[in-house]
């Protein structure tokens, strides 16, 4: 075995009505180096520690190569903010581990491995394949994305764990709400494909997850409202939050409005789409 290196992008899942089935890769990168070791160790943010057996990076690396490694992680993706940090670090870790074992990873295998452990095919699909993806029943498809669209993210300093955000969701939703959300998803996909403002305007107002998560992070709704007033075509929670996503033709006024809401209690980023997934 030798040293292996890989990267993977962050991602924004759901984009409103695409709950657990739509993911967009964004240019925030997680970089991982892996090398053989006598015991499991991880170096990150200047600290070296032994990961627990339940740690996601240990789980995915162990499943990928079945032996202890030393992992060095440099992750630009904010943690517990709804930007796909877990998927990015798992994809990069698995790929680096395989390369350290002398094996060149295959994208389909990486996707299946990470999805099996994390359970979120939308983020994993975006991190592996890049671009805009839809997933369902183990199948993945690339979706078209208008080059006119820009993606603005308001990232609060406060974290919101995915498990906590999921615990706020009901087991059932009213049929009428599900029907309305199906229509929103159709308009979202069409709006992302064409850049049609009318279609994107009809895609907002999710009733499957955002309405139930809103009490967990009021600032997310404030960011979305400010972005909409500043000209955003569509706003949503980014993944499980608390980050808010705004889609716009002109990102500057939208970013300025979000910065005013945060008042130095977070950051605003205009991110390019990661057309390439893991490398």
Indicate whether this model's pTM tops 0.85: yes
Spatial CB neighbours of 274, under 8 Å, sequence gap ≥ 6: 9, 10, 11, 25, 26, 27, 126, 130, 131
The predicted model gives 4-29 an average pLDDT of 97
Q: What is the pLDDT of residue 247?
A: 98
Structural contact between residues 94 and 60, judged by C-beta atoms closer than 8 angstroms: yes
pLDDT tens figures, 96-146: 999 999 999 999 999 999 999 988 799 999 999 999 999 998 899 999 999
DSSP conformation letters of 138-177? TEEEEE---TT-EEEEEEESS---HHHHHHTS-S---HHH
Q: What are phi and psi of 106, to 5 degrees?
A: -110, 140
Domains of the chain: 4-142 (3.30.230.10), 146-271 (3.30.70.890)
The predicted model gives 4-23 an average pLDDT of 97
Higher pLDDT pick, 25 / 164 = 25
Token match 């991190």: residue?
Answer: 127
Q: What is the pLDDT of residue 165?
A: 87
Q: Reply yes or no on whether the pLDDT at 1 is more than 70.
A: no
When the pLDDT of each residue in the chain is averaged and rounded to a whole number, the result is 96
pLDDT tens figures, 234-250: 999 999 999 999 999 99
Q: What is the pLDDT of residue 118?
A: 84
């Amino acid at each position: 075995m030798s040293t292996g290196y890989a990267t993977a992008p962050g991602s924004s899942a759901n984009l409103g009505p695409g709950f657990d089935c739509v993911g967009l890769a964004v240019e925030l990168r997680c970089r991982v180096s892996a090398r053989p070791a006598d015991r499991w160790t991880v170096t990150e943010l200047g600290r070296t520690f032994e990961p627990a057996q339940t740690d996601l990076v240990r789980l995915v690396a162990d499943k990928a190569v079945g032996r202890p490694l030393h992992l060095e992680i440099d992750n630009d993706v904010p943690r517990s903010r709804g930007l796909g940090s877990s998927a990015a670090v798992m994809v990069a870790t698995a790929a680096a581990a395989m390369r350290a074992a002398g094996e060149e990873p295959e994208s389909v295998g990486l996707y299946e491995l990470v999805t099996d452990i994390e359970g979120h095919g939308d983020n994993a699909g975006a991190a592996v394949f890049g671009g805009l993806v839809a997933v369902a029943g183990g199948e993945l498809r690339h979706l078209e994305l208008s080059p006119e669209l820009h993606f603005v993210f308001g990232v609060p300093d406060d974290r919101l764990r995915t498990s906590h955000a999921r615990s706020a969701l009901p087991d059932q939703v009213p049929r009428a709400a599900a029907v309305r959300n199906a229509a929103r998803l159709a308009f979202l996909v069409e709006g992302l494909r064409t850049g049609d403002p009318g279609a994107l305007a009809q895609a907002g107002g999710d009733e499957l997850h955002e309405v139930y998560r809103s009490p967990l992070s009021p600032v997310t709704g404030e960011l979305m409202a400010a972005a909409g007033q500043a000209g955003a075509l569509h706003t949503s929670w980014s993944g499980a939050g608390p980050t808010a996503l705004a889609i716009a033709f002109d990102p500057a006024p939208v970013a300025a409005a979000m910065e005013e809401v945060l008042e130095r209690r977070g950051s605003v980023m205009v991110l390019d789409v990661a057309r390439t997934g893991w490398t």
